[in-house]
Amino acid sequence: MRKKIVAGNWKMNLKLEEGMQLSSEIVEFVKNNHLETLAGKPGVVMFTPFVHLTSVADFTAGIKGVEVGAQNCYTEEKGAFTGEVSAEMIESTGATHVLVGHSERRSFFGETDEVLAKKTEIALKHALTPVFCCGEVLDERNAEKHFEVVKKQLHKGLFWLSEEEFSKVVIAYEPVWAIGTGVTASPAQAQEMHAFIRQIIREKYNDKTADDTTILYGGSCNAKNAAELFANEDVDGGLIGGASLKAEDFCTIIKSF
């Protein structure tokens, strides 16, 4: 049975003390609701800014069902790359996940599928779970090219991996037109794309790999619409942006399964 995940992407928000307060409230919720011991309940991953990683990872260490991830990593092991953070550095903090190819990295920083393939490779080398983001912009959706775009992103970014390597990857479908806009893909649109992604994984690898791959939805998922989105057969959780910054909203989303 594939893993259910509710992941919070804090983006460039929260001072260190604010992040620690949010983390403590989420951990308290997980403990009080025994989510760390109940079968079938989602795992929680907090994607924090780099300055939070060590503190939050130390705080959540040993708490089953709660993990920490970085929002980005660099393509190289080490060297004269001022301002960058390596996968090895992230691993050393106790973090277990890393976002690869978030739409904001693609659009604001020009990250290509080839760059993202390198980031995926180096993340896996350092035992980090890449959460690989894919999705179309509004013009591509309106031109009915959304399936073509997502298929290309997956083929170039991931489908060079062996079956064993691919089994360690989580995919997040994020329609770019729905990120931070308040507009959410309908449950039918989300299910349609998630089913499509699962099918092309099936065609590339096999039935077991496709059935075991966790595919998250990201794009204005919030406390009000999460349950309806997560009810879809092929939606295995969410990559949550703004709603992950408020403990009450984020915890409501966790309870949506």
pLDDT at 36: 58
| pLDDT over threshold 60, residue 38 | no
The whole-number average pLDDT for the span 42-65 is 96
pLDDT at 40: 63
- Structure pTM? 0.96
- Smallest CA-to-CA distance from 86 within 128, 44, 133 is with 128
What range defines the domain where residue 66 resides? 5-254
The whole-number average pLDDT for the span 11-27 is 98
Q: Could you give the CA distance from residue 142 to residue 199 in angstroms, rounded to a whole number?
A: 22
| pLDDT over threshold 60, residue 39 | no
The label of the residue with tokens 């307060």 reads: 21
pLDDT at 151: 98
228 is an active site residue: no
Q: Choose, from 67, 91, 136, 174, the residue flagged as catalytic.
A: 174
| pLDDT over threshold 60, residue 155 | yes
Burial class (CB in 10 A: 0-12, 13-18, 19+), 212: middle
| pLDDT over threshold 70, residue 88 | yes
Q: Which residues of 76-114 are buried (b: 16+ CB within 10 A; e: fewer)?
A: eeeeeeeeebbbebbbebbbbbbbbbbbbbbeeeebebe
146 is an active site residue: no
Report the domain count for the chain.
1
Please state, for a pLDDT cut of 90, what percent of the chain lies above it. Answer: 89
Q: What is the pLDDT of residues 192-233, one digit of tens each?
A: 999 999 999 999 999 999 999 999 999 889 999 999 999 999
The label of the residue with tokens 């896996």 reads: 124
- Smallest CA-to-CA distance from 73 within 57, 87, 83 is with 87
Q: Choose, from 102, 136, 140, 194, the residue flagged as catalytic.
A: 102
CATH code: domain of residue 235: 3.20.20.70
